[in-house]
Amino acid sequence: MSFILRRLVFYLVAAWVALTVNFFIPRAMPGNAVQSIMSKFPNLQPAAYRALEAMLGVGHPGSIWHQYGSYLVDVFHFNFGTDVSQYPASVSTLLGETIPWTLTLVGSATVIAFLLGTVLGIVAGWRHGGSLDRVLPGLMFLQAIPYFFFALILLELLASKFHVFPLGQGYAQGLIPGWHWDFISSAIYHSLLPALTIVLTSVAGWMLQMRNVMITTIGEDYVIAAQAKGLPNRRVVFTYAARNALLPQLQGFGLALGFVVSGALVMEIVFSYPGIGLLLLNAVTSNDYPLMQAIFLVITFAVLLANLVVDMIIVFADPRARAGEAAS
């Protein structure tokens, strides 16, 4: 079995764990979820009790294994039930409306931050002790700021005070979403500040990690040999040192993805950006448990998928991995 197939199996196991945890949380929690929803919405009729039970999957007939089976089938068909707060709408419709926003913003901003941080890290590692090292403490400070607080500050400065960027939302009011230039340009304009927040807060982490791996790699014999051969510096840095330093960096990227996505979700709330983060906030404030659980599953699956892509890039970039692929 090749490496990628094995990783795929691993991610399937992880997805199954997430699904199972998600299934058992409402059942294992102390107290009655249905009862707590009933008490939070006093205007609900007693007849709604049954409906809520069915929606949360608590009152399903049959044994727990039977419930588990039908739950897995439901998830497989993207059937996450109906929504509590926006009643007739199904959860999957709500998710379908918000996912594209988050995917474009968080996805592209994270990739940009990763690439930028890696390049800066290469330079900082190569010129160890140079001017880039001197801004490191500042970068660490930037890294320690919570995403959403940095977003608040940027909003205050760039949108409230100087009106360079709009005050949140995904597009200008009055525009109808669609594939026409007015809407697209407005959406891009509105996404600039959130994207800037993600890039500025996460670039430091990638840069620090790449710098440290670079410093270690530059000490290796083959790098010294390449320099002794008289190869131009650019070739030594990028082909010899950076290419090898990139692999731990890529593995770290896969592992840190969950953190970055979580931070970005909270940041969306500050910008009232119409993505999954804002949907999650609405779910929390209205105690919309089915929606919360569905969002958890969707985010987990997205992160697992992204990790699989990272693994593919690792195989592509690492000759050792390719040798392993060919051997088995």
Partner 1 sequence: MTAVLPISAEPAALARQDVTPGRWRRMPTKAKAGAILLGLFVLAAIIGPLVTPYDPSFQNPAPDLSLHAPYGAHLLGTTQSGQDVLSQLLVGIRLTLELALLVGVVATALSVIVGVTSAFLGGVWDEVLSLITNVFLVIPALPLLIVLLGYLQTKGQTATILVLSVLGWPWGARVVRAQTLAIRNRDFISAARESGEKTWRIIAYEIVPNEVSLIAASFVNTVLYAIGASVALAFIGVTNLNDWSLGTMLYWAESQQALQLGAWWWFVPPGLAVAFIGAGLVLLNTGIDELGNPRLRDAASASRIAGRWLRPADPTPVLADISQRRGRLAGFLHSFSRGSLLDDTEGGQAR
Report the site for partner 1 in 168-197 (rule: CB under 8 A): none
Contact status: 216 vs partner 1 (CB under 8 A):
yes
End-to-end CA distance of the chain: 6
The pair of structure tokens assigned to 311 is: 């693994």
- Give least dist CB 171 to partner 1, A: 20
- Choose the stretch contacting partner 1; rule: CB under 8 A; options: 63-71, 84-92, 146-154, 230-238: 146-154
SS3 82: strand
Interface residues for partner 1 in 272-291 (CB under 8 A)?
280-281, 284-285, 287, 289
299 binds partner 1 (CB under 8 A): yes
Q: How far apart are CA 177 and CA 234, in angstroms?
A: 46
Smallest gap, in angstroms, from Cβ of residue 281 to partner 1? 6
The footprint of partner 1 on residues 63-92 (CB under 8 A) is: none
The span from the CA of 124 to the CA of 130, in Å, is: 7
Least distance from partner 1 to the Cβ atom of residue 84, Å = 12
Residue 45 tokens read as 């009729």
Residue 183 or residue 286: which is nearer to partner 1 going by CB?
286
Question: Segment near partner 1 (CB under 8 A), from 61-69, 76-84, 228-236, 248-256?
Answer: 248-256
Q: Which stretch binds partner 1 (CB under 8 A): 22-30, 84-92, 102-110, 116-124?
A: 22-30
Could you say whether residue 94 binds partner 1 (CB under 8 A)? no
**Contact set for partner 1, span 25-64 (CB under 8 A):** 25-26, 29-31, 33, 36
Q: How far apart are CA 125 and CA 236, in angstroms?
A: 13
262 binds partner 1 (CB under 8 A): yes
Residue 163 CA to residue 203 CA, distance in Å, equals 25
Q: What is the dihedral of CA 256, 147, 302, 177, to 10 degrees?
A: -150
Q: Is 19 in the site for partner 1 (CB under 8 A)?
A: no
One symbol per residue from 103 to 142: x for binding partner 1 (CB under 8 A), - otherwise; what is it? -------------------------xx---x---x--xx-
201 touching partner 1, by CB under 8 A: no
Q: With beta carbons less than 8 A apart as the criterion, state whether 134 and 226 touch.
A: no
**Which tokens sit at 160?**
């409230």
Quote the least distance from Cβ 246 to partner 1, whole Å: 14
Beta bridge partner(s), residue 82: 90
What gap in Å lies between CA 57 and CA 35, rounded to an integer? 14
Rg of the chain over all Cα atoms, to the nearest angstrom: 24
Q: Which of 89, 153, 188, 309 binds partner 1 (CB under 8 A)?
A: 153
Asked if 149 is part of the footprint of partner 1 (rule: CB under 8 A), the reply reads yes
Spatial distance between the Cα atoms of 55 and 74, rounded to a whole number of angstroms: 12
Nearest to 168 by CA among 184, 151, 181, 183: 151
Within residues 304-323, the interface with partner 1 by CB under 8 A covers 304, 307, 311, 314, 318, 320-321, 323
